[in-house]
Amino acid sequence: MKSDKQLGLLRGAKLFAFTLIEVLIAIAILALVLTAIYSSWVAILRASKVGLEAAAQAQRTRITLRAIEEALSSAQLFTANIQHYSFFADTSGDFAALSFVARLPASFPGSGLFGDQVVRRVTFSVESDARGQNQLLLRQTPLLEAAEADVKPYTIVLAPSVNLFALEFLDTNKWEWVPEWLYTNRLPKMARVAVSFGAKRPDAANLEDTMIQTVLLSSAAIPRELQIPSGRFGGVPLPPGGPASGRIGSGLFPQPPVGGNRPGQLPRTPIGR
């Protein structure tokens, strides 16, 4: 038989034991704490992902608008070779398309691959990739590319997930923005570009994150008479009748001294001799 002391210890041990209900309540509280920690961690990860995507989207938008602005502001059109300098703007589809010739700066994307061929035809268009995602493409082709050279245009993906790429042009006759430009042998004075990236939505044209950029173009075409080379390095051609006729040397454009054929200087002998 157990002594009274042992029975007292057993009774005391029973007083300090956990019941099944208490154990289940403790497990439930622990599960709630772990769930709260996990939910907070997931929320932090999602917020970080959303922040990174927003920053990347803002960077893509900035780079895209800057590339379009640099290209449009550097557009050129020479009337003597108008077939090579045509300005195409197609706004009839879901996305706009733009193609023209520009004298691009060294900071333009891809300029390092073309060396001193700064005059290139650039094309902006939206096409679907293998996954069906719309992406804005920039293609470049040197204007002085050899006719027999079978070289594909250099293509850059400016931005993926494009849901809006629209163009408008300033009509100087009505002084209002028009959605299309029908003159391939003229440059518009001003163009307005609207871009938006992200998931495609029915109200894509009214998204708050749509970015609009207005670009001023150097719309004056280079006249034919300024393209005709004269002298060893080119320059301003002689007017009909010789150096004494026309406005050259008459005060507005003083007659340069004879003695060299530097750029912009008249040759020592008239053209044709």
Mean pLDDT for the chain? 77
| Amino acid (one-letter) located at 160 | P
The pLDDT value recorded for residue 200 is 57
Q: What is the reported pLDDT for 159?
A: 86
- Which H or E element spans position 134? strand 134-142
The residue ranking higher by pLDDT, 122 or 143, is 122
Q: What is the mean pLDDT of residues 127-155?
A: 81
Q: Which of 267, 245, 246, 247 is nearest to 256 (CA)?
A: 267
Q: Is 206 left (phi over 0), alpha (psi -120 to 50) or beta?
A: alpha
Residue 122 has a pLDDT of 94
Tell me the β-bridge partners of 139. 123, 155
Model pLDDT, residue 21: 87
Instruction: Give the percent of the chain with pLDDT over 90.
Output: 30
User: CB under 8 Å to 207, separation ≥6 — which residues?
Assistant: 163, 164, 196, 198, 201
Model pLDDT for residues 175-212, shown as the tens digit of each residue: 899 999 988 888 999 999 998 887 655 454 455 578 88
**Window from 57-61, 73-77, 220-224, 261-265 with minimum mean pLDDT:** 261-265
Q: What is the pLDDT, as a whole number, of residue 13? A: 52
C-alpha distances out from residue 29 to 20, 26, 34, Å: 14, 5, 9
pLDDT at 244: 43
80 — phi, psi (to 5°)? -70, -20
Q: Does 214 score more than 70 pLDDT?
A: yes
Where is average pLDDT lowest: 75-84, 108-117, 141-150, 156-165? 141-150
Q: Tell me the three state secondary structure of residue 79.
A: helix
CA distance 164 to 203: 10
pTM value is 0.65
Write down the pLDDT at residue 7: 56
Q: Is 48's pLDDT higher than 60?
A: yes
